[in-house]
Amino acid sequence: MFLDLHTHILHAVDDGSPSIENSILMLQEEINEGVTHVVLTPHMQSRVQKVERTMHHERFQELQDAVQKEKLPIRIYLGAETLFRSHLNPSYDELTLGHSRYILLEFSTREEQPIEEIVYDISRMGFIPIVAHIERYSYLSFDDYAAIKKTGALIQVNTTSILGLDKTVKPKLPIKMIKEGLVDLIASDTHNLDVRKPNMMMCYQVLKKHVSQEILDTLFISNPQKIITAMS
């Protein structure tokens, strides 16, 4: 039913899942939450990155084999969450979601960055930027959100922000953003089975009190499905 496009389930690569056994448990929890497709987005260009990109591919194959062995009813894909750093010039082709043109980008939460200009420049390269957990960037205004969307970039918010589990974000902010049509995707950004566990269904149920079924289906199903289709 749901598609989770931002996760840290790939094992032993960053501050997410520490082992393949834990990754399987996290995928089982995703299934329990009604998720059918998961994109694994390990951190890149971040201080929490533990291995090089080539290892991501090796670990992904290990997890893919384990999913098939366990016969889990879920599809997994390899992507990345790339921290934009102005002094680095990565090969973005290596960092897209499942060999599509979509790329998940995160930015500094402490130092103000010109996100609109950055995503515009990356979109001119032929990519479709997805701004990860935009609600965390306190230096952005609603006008900024709208300007970022006008570049063709997509905006993603975390389930934890809506559920009040991220203490740096007041739930009213992402809910207002959704109501004003500024959000394209909702994802879990899950890191573990404790405070940052998969919780797509829980978030969906909470949002039912605030927005229409049509908006919910767009954020949780149809918009993510477009990206999954581009990866297939």
Domains and CATH numbers, the chain: 2-231 (3.20.20.140)
Q: How far apart are CA 96 and CA 127, in angstroms?
A: 8
Q: What is the pLDDT of residue 232?
A: 67
Percentage of the chain surpassing pLDDT 90? Answer: 96
Burial 128-140, CB ≥16 within 10 A → b, else e: bbbbbbbbbbeeb
Q: What is the pLDDT of residue 116?
A: 98
**Closest residue by Cα to residue 184 from 131, 137, 230:** 131
Quick one: tokens of 73?
Answer: 């009813």
Per-residue pLDDT of 77-98, as tens digits, reads 999 999 999 888 889 999 999 9
* DSSP string for 136-202: G-TT--HHHHHHHHHTT-EEEEEHHHHTT--TTS-THHHHHHHHTT---EEE--B--SSTT---HHH
Flag whether pLDDT at 131 surpasses 80: yes
Per-residue pLDDT of 108-128, as tens digits, reads 999 999 999 999 999 999 999
Q: What is the pLDDT of residue 89?
A: 82
Q: Catalogue the E-assigned strands of the chain.
A: 2-7, 35-40, 43-44, 75-78, 81-83, 102-106, 128-131, 154-158, 185-187
Binning pLDDT at 50, 70 and 90, where does residue 65 land?
very high
